[in-house]
Amino acid sequence: MLASQLPRGTAKQLVVYAVGPGYGESVVVLLPDGRVVVVDGCSHEGRNLTAQLLDALSVTRIDLLVVSHPDSDHLRGLADSIGKYDPALVWVYPQYVSLRDLVASALKGKPSAGAGRRLGDLRALQDALDERFEQNRALEMRAGTEEWGDRENGEIRVIAPLQADISEAGKDLRALARSIVENRALPVALEDYLDGKKGSALSDHPNQLSLALSIRWGSRLLLLAGDLEHHAKKPHRGWNGVVADLKRAGRLDRIRGVDVVKVAHHGSDGAFCEEAWKLHRESRDVLVGLICPFNRSGELPAAAALTSLRPHATNLGVSSVSDTVKQRLADSGWVHASDAIRLDTPLPIVGVSIPAVGSPQLYLGGCGHGFA
Amino acid sequence: MVEPSVDVDTSRAPGSPLLEAFGDLDDHLRIVAALGRILGHLEPDAAKACVTATDNTWERRRAGLQGLLAKAYLVQPGAPSRPVRLRDPDALEPVSSSERRRWDDAGFHQQKRALLGDLVDASNRGVIVFVRPCPTAKKLRHLPLHARLEDSLSASGTKAPDSGAALTASLSPDLRPIAAWLLASRIYDPVDLSSLLASSEGEEELVAAAWARLRPSAQCAAASLCLVRPPMAINGQVGPFARMEAAAVDRRFGGRVASAAVAELRGCGFLQDDPAWPDHLRVPRPVRRFVQRLRLAYEPLVQDTHLFLAALPDDGATQAPLSEQHHHAICSGDLRRATETAVHYGTDLRAIARRLSQAEERYDDAADVYQAIVDRFDREDAYAWEYLGWNLLQPFRQNLAQMPELRRSRILRSFERACELDGDNPLFRGRLLRYRAQSGEDIGPELDHWMIHFFPPSHRAHRTQLTWFVEPVVKGLRYAKRTDVADAFVARWRERLPGIVEAADGRHAGK
């Protein structure tokens, strides 16, 4: 089935889109009352895909922009989008200010070309946000900070990261800042991190700081899991920590009985939390997972994660599918879904409309595929 | 032994001078100068010792202070001891190796420890030392004082909600207003704040959490305000930097700090009411430390503020705190102003000299600074003599033959003086020998003597120290085309010190 127009939020439905060409990820949520929430920015080959989607949806202003964490693949084009769509409110990941100050210090040194580019991405975003911080329209968020909206029209809460993750990252960032001041040179660990090298002392940090959102509309629940990882051996970190924290507060309803999950960290095995997914699936006949693949250094989604998702998600929407990912999906028992609706757009998106009553509907853009 | 008490009550003890010497981690020199002036007023005939205590040579200054402390506890029958009030023990606490300065590390910390030892010794003999604890009680345990914490400070600024009151009470007085603000503003609830404080850098994380909530304009204001070192109030005279009048902060900073930003900083606890001075503000130490580490991020604002503070005129009503202006001139790199304001000591001028030499290759200017240090401030500063010679040499190091005779003799005298003052320094001796070899002298017969001196058979030669001596010597011999002497020297010592081969090539020079 082909739809010529992209679904929009209406009084009777909430719509979520995930944009992901294979590198980069962004999410757009259209609330029933017309408000627009955007998470991160996605650009590919010089094209701001998030902006293209917003334009296709006739969006002229963003009500809430969420900058989930400082990884480059989530930031490209964001500075331009801020200028164009003038978000009324911006939520940023914790330690944003620490990283901003670190970047400003690091730029006084002489970074390598790769690190310099990533520093430049961060700096462009920071310049765009400075004015909003001055106007108190930008805030660092973490689990338990204020909510936005209301249940009738869409209420958004931050469920991650927890303070344990934030403090851990803060300690390392401050150590780097001291090193820069003492040595007047960019520390190797920071260079590696900015170059995106795995195994560096800071390589976990961006994901560790990732904001995860729980969006409630009436009885419907949407979970945007960011890039938060699991940390199987650390009970107070990552998804383990989220589940424990919500359990302690009597707030498991924020991740229990979910209709749509933007799967964490591009479907990596390290971000899959069995306990959390069991809760997501509770009392739900249909649970749609949205995945934006990551096609560099190892390629995601991982085969093990796709297998782990089988008992929990009934449908998967994958925004772009390489041959490797296609094979992994097949090996994990996922087959093409016949009831997904193809959109008349080349954009690498997958979308879900969540009605007030009834099952969610999966939509596929350009190179997106649906699986069941 | 009189047990000194830790007294946070800021009311004056009877008969005590109104004077609290604050300190900071890097200004024990300033503490001694201030203490000298304080104590010099206790006894009319202490003027001479007071001058000595403010003398620019560290050893003489320390000796003068010891004499003054000895006088401080001369007690008239029936009269109480003369107390000396000293604030901020952090200034005297030996710091960990991770916080060491890059230059003159060992000497710097030895001086601090010596000062602390003198004060403890004086307190043990009857001088009552009042110490205001800015850090938490657990930090006081590291100080060699028998301290009893009496906390009479009430939290200034925002009051914590009742649910957080116990949590904030466990913090040091400086941090309580910040914690209270985070709780009252609902930025944190007590559970989350507890979790934050439980981390290994909890106090620093607390400051960082509050910092993240400030608007950029308030952060910039803090970056300027935190450049001012903690106040030194001397016998009721207050330097222009010392106390920030709440109503005049923006004027004091020439409009660089907006009143709205000041209000925001007061609200969050980054600026606090000064308990000793009504209507004045202070920046608590943990905030100052945190913000100062961000100074690179806030260039060029920081540079501009240093220049401004260095240029502030003496307002005439108080004793001019030239040491503060000097400090800011050093930080800004303004050599002219730094030299003008270097009245009590020239040690800080080294920072500018190093910058001129290493970053800008202005060797003659750097040499002028070192010359000023040894002429005006410390004739026994071995480091200054050494680098006077070194900097005079640099423009001609590849062609000594072009060097004027007067310069040659200045260099030689400088290197020799450095070795006289610091006879156990292998680098200084190595460079002197190099220079003499390059000047045509036959240094061969002396080499074994110095090797035995620095690296006796009982001594396990550290390869860095070995390189410091051997590398310049060998280079000097090679320059003088005495490679045969160099090779023979290395060969002679190779069996006993195999590392000499690498040392000759400078492979373990270290940083």
Q: In this model, does residue B89 exceed pLDDT 50?
A: no
What number is the average pLDDT over the span A142-162? 89
Which comes out higher in pLDDT, residue B256 or B41?
A: B256
Q: Which residues contact B464 (CB under 8 A, 6 or more apart)?
A: B508, B509, B510
What number is the average pLDDT over the span A306-320? 96
CB contact under 8 A, A177 and B204: no
> For chain A, where are the E strands, in sequence order?
2-3, 13-19, 26-30, 36-39, 43-44, 47-48, 64-67, 89-92, 138-140, 148-150, 154-160, 212-217, 220-224, 260-262, 288-291, 315-318, 341-343, 349-355, 361-364, 369-371
Q: Which of B202, B219, B296 sits opposite A105 (nearest CB)?
A: B296
Q: Which of A104, A168, A177 sits opposite B293 (nearest CB)?
A: A177
* Length of chain B measured in residues: 511
CB atoms within 10 A of CB B360: 11
Q: In this model, does residue B141 exceed pLDDT 90?
A: no
Instruction: Quote the radius of gyration of chain B (alpha carbons, Å).
Output: 26
Supply the angle between the helices B444-454 and B426-438 in degrees, to the nearest 10.
180
pLDDT given for residue B317 in this prediction: 38
Nearest chain B CA: its distance from A169 CA (Å) = 10
- Per residue in A172-183, pLDDT (tens digit) is 888 888 777 777
Q: Count CA atoms closer than 13 A to B291's CA, side-chain side.
A: 28
Read off the pTM.
0.76
Which comes out higher in pLDDT, residue B131 or A35?
A: A35
* CB A370 within 8 Å of CB A350: yes
Question: Which helix (H) or strand (E) is B132 found in, with range?
Answer: strand B129-132
Nearest chain B CA: its distance from A236 CA (Å) = 11
Q: Count CA atoms closer than 13 A to B488's CA, side-chain side.
A: 10
Which of A32-41, A73-82, A316-325, B337-346 is least confident?
A: B337-346
CB contact under 8 A, A104 and B298: yes
* CB A240 within 8 Å of CB A267: no
What number is the average pLDDT over the span A40-46? 91
Report chain B residues whose CB lies below 8 A from the CB of A95.
212
Q: Which of A94, A104, A182 sits opposite B297 (nearest CB)?
A: A104
- Per residue in B221-279, pLDDT (tens digit) is 999 988 877 654 433 333 445 556 667 777 777 777 888 898 999 999 998 877 666 67
pLDDT given for residue B204 in this prediction: 87
* CB A309 within 8 Å of CB A316: yes
Report chain B residues whose CB lies below 8 A from the CB of A146.
186
Question: Which helix (H) or strand (E) is B195 found in, with range?
Answer: helix B190-198
pLDDT given for residue B40 in this prediction: 61
| Bridge partners of residue A47, in order along the sequence | A44
The residues on B that touch A, with CB distances below 8 Å, are 102, 186-187, 189, 192, 195-196, 199-202, 204-205, 208, 211-213, 215-217, 219, 293-299
* CB A264 within 8 Å of CB A240: no
Tokens of A93: 């990941």
Nearest Cα to Cα of residue A207 among A233, A231, A176, A188: A231
Q: Count CA atoms closer than 13 A to B261's CA, side-chain side.
A: 21
Q: Count CA atoms closer than 13 A to B279's CA, side-chain side.
A: 3
Q: How confident is the model at residue B421 (pLDDT cuts 50, 70, 90)?
A: very high
CB contact under 8 A, A134 and B217: yes
> For A172-257, where are the E strands, in sequence order?
212-217, 220-224
Report chain B residues whose CB lies below 8 A from the CB of A162.
195
Strand A26-30, strand A13-19: pairing = antiparallel
Q: Which of A95, A97, A180 sits opposite B296 (nearest CB)?
A: A180
SS3 assignment, position A94:
coil
Whole-angstrom Cα distance, residue B418 to residue B316? Answer: 41
ipTM here = 0.87
pLDDT given for residue A67 in this prediction: 96
Report chain A residues whose CB lies below 8 A from the CB of B297.
100-102, 104-105
Whole-angstrom Cα distance, residue B53 to residue B339? Answer: 21
* CB B108 within 8 Å of CB B101: yes
SS3 assignment, position A139:
strand
- Per residue in B285-330, pLDDT (tens digit) is 788 888 988 888 898 899 998 998 888 765 543 334 677 788 889 8
* CB A209 within 8 Å of CB A161: yes
Q: A78: which DSSP letter?
A: H
Nearest chain B CA: its distance from A230 CA (Å) = 20
φ/ψ (deg, to 5) at B487? -65, -40
By CB atoms closer than 10 A (0-12, 13-18, 19+), residue B321 is: buried
pLDDT given for residue B69 in this prediction: 72
Nearest chain A CA: its distance from B403 CA (Å) = 35
* Length of chain A measured in residues: 372
- Residue of A99, A167, A186, A248 to mutate when probing chain B, most B C-beta within 10 A: A167
Strand A220-224, strand A260-262: pairing = parallel
Q: Which residues contact A47 (CB under 8 A, 6 or more apart)?
A: none
B300 to chain A: closest CA residue: A108
Tokens of B505: 């090539």
3-state helix, strand, coil in chain A (%, to 5): 35, 25, 40
Report chain B residues whose CB lies below 8 A from the CB of A170.
199, 201, 204-205, 208
Interface A–B counts its CB contacts (< 8 A) at 71
Q: Which of A95, A164, A180 sits opposite B195 (nearest CB)?
A: A164
